[in-house]
Amino acid sequence: MIIRKGENMENFNVLITGGAGVIGRLLAEKFLKDGANCILIDKDENNLNKVIEEYRKRFGFDKVEGFIADFSNRENVLNILDKVLEKYKFIDVLINNAGIVTGKTLLNSSFDEIEKTMTVNAISHFWTIKKILPLMIEKNKGHIVTISSAAGIIGVPKLSDYCASKFAAFGIDESLRMELYKNKSKIKTTIICPYYINTGMFKGVKTRFPFLLPILEPEKAVDKIYKGIIKGKTRVIFPFLVYFTWLLRLFPTRFFDFIANFLGIHSSMDNFIGRR
């Protein structure tokens, strides 16, 4: 999706999973300001209702709607997507944003926690894409946005399940992009890989060098994400230092680990509290 200055999205339908969370609702606000219709899906009914109520007052009753779904439950998600498509017929922009984090070492994470993280953060993307992509293919238009993470590029202690899920999300996006390219499709994809964002989800994380790897403020992060989406960028990765992860992989793992440790990545989760 490439929106040029002066254009609006009056007839665009934008579906955002994890729509009641900080990133989801801030992205919805951006789209609503530009005239799009937003469909927000989240498990948190209380917060979702608050977001919907606020945005309906600001942007109009018909511009935003919320649906409750548990992204660890395939049947539940697919049923909700059927309801969404029955009403809206077509989704112009799908943003797979729903996510959770446990913040435990691999051995301290239960099987249920690991499986739930993988399901919500990665496997659920297959459910939403398989429902919505066929309609995009019919019209040869649309945009699929995947919210991954810098943790989808480099492994971090106490984030083994989270990193695995975000690496998976990155792989889903990349493979899908190549499939669409191979078929000469006009459907766009965008992968989003930010460093830690100060949403409360990663409360307690630390950074050794804030000028290189800052804990990102949500408004600034979402502004960057939104601009990347409407410009049709395939990758939105920030801060810029995160790109160097791929360069470092050309060196022996001992050097790679030394640099990661020096930058404080190995210790970033030491004081993790998270959202309780």
Residue-range domain boundaries for the chain: 13-262
Cα distance between residue 163 and residue 150, in whole Å: 9
β-bridge partners, 254: none
> Bridge-partner residues for 16, per DSSP?
40, 95
Kindly compute the dihedral angle of the four CA atoms of residues 218, 168, 83, 179, in this order, to the nearest 10 degrees: 110
> Mean pLDDT, the chain, as a whole number?
96
For residue 27, the number of C-alpha atoms closer than 13 Å in the C-beta half-sphere is: 34
Domain at 13-262, CATH homologous superfamily: NAD(P)-binding Rossmann-like Domain (3.40.50.720)
45 phi and psi angles, rounded to 5 deg:
-60, -40
3-state SS record for 98-163:
CCCCCCCCCCCCCHHHHHHHHHHHHHHHHHHHHHHHHHHHHHCCCEEEEECCHHHCCCCCCCHHHH
Q: Residue 153 and residue 249: Cα distance in Å, rounded?
A: 11
pLDDT in tens, 50-72: 999 999 999 999 999 999 999 99
Burial track 20-33 (b if 16+ CB lie within 10 A, e otherwise): bbbbbbbbbbbbbe
What's the pLDDT score for residue 241? Answer: 95
Q: What share of the chain is helix, strand, coil (3-state, %, to 5)?
A: 50, 15, 40
Q: Are 146 and 169 in contact (CB under 8 A)?
A: yes
pLDDT in tens, the chain (276 residues): 666 544 678 889 999 999 999 999 999 999 999 999 999 999 999 999 999 999 999 999 999 999 999 999 999 999 999 999 999 999 999 999 999 999 999 999 999 999 999 999 999 999 999 999 999 999 999 999 999 999 999 999 999 999 999 999 999 999 999 999 999 999 999 999 999 999 999 999 999 999 999 999 999 999 999 999 999 999 999 999 999 999 999 999 999 999 999 999 999 999 999 876
Q: Closest Cα partner for 259 from 249, 272, 269, 271?
A: 249
Q: For 40, phi and psi rounded to 5 degrees?
A: -110, 130
Residues catalogued as catalytic:
162
Rg for the chain, CA atoms, rounded: 18
Give pLDDT, residue 276: 65
DSSP SS3 for 189: strand
Dihedral sign (CA 76, 78, 83, 88): positive
Per-residue confidence (pLDDT) for residue 161, from 0 to 100: 98
* pLDDT tens digit sequence for 91-136: 999 999 999 999 999 999 999 999 999 999 999 999 999 999 999 9
